Amino acid sequence: MAELDIQISIEEGQWPSEDDLHAMAERVLETAATYLRENEKQPFPKMIPEVSLVFTDDASIQDINAEWRGKDKPTNVLSFPAFPVTPGKVPGPMLGDIIIAQETVAREAIDLEKSFDDHLTHLMVHGFLHLFGYDHNNDAEAEIMERLETRILAKLGLSDPYEGQDLKMEP
């Protein structure tokens, strides 16, 4: 049984097909949702919650980043929870939006010597955790979030994305 209603939109950029992205998002986000439910005792709403993934390019995400975060530069992923939520509390039926920039993902994957798909998987998990109230504004929050990311990615067969890396997600 699906734990999530995943909506996909490709707006800009050279992305894989919508069907491929949807299949990947289902695998990644369903694994993350199951992990949160089973291991973190994260409650879910009674109805299947919806999450929206928007796949775009650097120019578009830069505009969004400037408007909503006051940072006039592209970034890899932005998350916008539909409702304020605290980890461990029941989120609303609409979790929110995850927006990912293709060029930044590709550039970072090369820099990290990882495949595009592996890095995209990490960013999907990262963005998804933000929709449940996890953040990385300070070291304590970052440690919790990175631990969750690492454990979820291990369930997906991927190694620790932070091991030996100086690249941390920017707050």
Q: What is the CATH number of the domain that holds 22?
A: 3.40.390.30
Number of domains in the chain: 1
At 61, the pLDDT band (50, 70, 90 cuts) reads very high
Tell whether 170 is covered by a domain: no
Question: Quick one: DSSP state of residue 87?
Answer: T
Mean pLDDT of 108-118: 94
Cβ atoms of 129 and 149 closer than 8 Å: yes
Whole-number Å distance between alpha carbons of 68 and 109: 25
Q: 100: domain range?
A: 5-155
Residue 169 lies in a domain: no
Q: Quickly state the pLDDT bin for 79 (edges 50, 70, 90).
A: very high
Confidence of residue 51 (pLDDT cuts 50, 70, 90): very high
pTM surpassing 0.85?
A: yes
Q: Would residue 107 count as lying in a domain?
A: yes
Is 128 domain-assigned? yes
| Average pLDDT over every residue of 55-81 | 94
pLDDT of 167: 47
43 part of a folded domain:
yes
- Is 160 inside a domain boundary? no
Give dist(CA 102, CA 106) in Å, integer. 6
Which position has the higher pLDDT, 139 or 87?
87
Q: Is residue 61 part of a domain?
A: yes
Q: Identify the pLDDT of residue 89.
A: 94
Collect all residues with Cβ–Cβ distance below 8 Å to 51 and sequence separation of at least 6: 4, 5, 6, 7, 29, 95, 96, 97, 98, 128, 131
- pLDDT tens-digit map of 129-147: 999 999 988 888 889 999 9
Closest residue by Cα to residue 152 from 8, 42, 1, 2: 42
DSSP strand pairing (5-10 vs 50-56): parallel
Q: How confident is the model at residue 56 (pLDDT cuts 50, 70, 90)?
A: very high
Q: Is residue 77 one of the residues assigned to a domain? A: yes
